[in-house]
């Protein structure tokens, strides 16, 4: 059985340093017509406690190129947190 290859992306920080992240999931919100992505730092993937980062994103014309935007409104954070909680519950149910 082949291991499923997790998608990874590189995100530069405000200093221009590049960091590798593993994509947890992406989802679209119909009401806002926005797309969101949740990632964890690649070095934390196998740890019990991980820091999850979420962004609003738009796909660019070039293949596999994304523009990331910080989530600024409380409404957006609420949507993302609900999605994270739902996915965490589903994962616990599978184990």
Would you list the domain boundaries of the chain? 8-94
Element housing 88 (H / E): helix 74-94
pTM of the model: 0.79
User: What is residue 39's predicted lDDT score, i.e. its pLDDT?
Assistant: 93
Q: Starting from the edge strand earliest in sequence, which strands make up the sheet with 34-41, in order?
A: 8-12, 18-29, 34-41, 53-59, 66-69
CB distance 66 to 57 below 8 Å = yes
- Give the tens place of pLDDT for each residue, 14-48: 899 999 999 988 999 888 789 999 999 999 877 88
Residue 57: Cβ within 10 Å count: 16
- Give the tens place of pLDDT for each residue, 46-57: 788 889 899 999
């Amino acid at each position: 059985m082949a291991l499923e290859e997790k998608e990874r992306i590189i995100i530069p920080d405000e200093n221009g340093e590049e960091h590798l992240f593993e994509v947890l999931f992406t989802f679209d919100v119909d009401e806002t017509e926005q797309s969101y992505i949740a990632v964890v730092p690649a070095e934390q993937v196998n740890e019990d406690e991980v820091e999850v980062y979420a962004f609003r994103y738009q796909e660019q014309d070039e293949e596999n190129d994304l523009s990331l935007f910080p989530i600024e409104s409380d409404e957006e954070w609420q949507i993302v947190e609900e999605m994270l909680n739902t996915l965490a519950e589903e994962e616990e149910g599978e184990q």
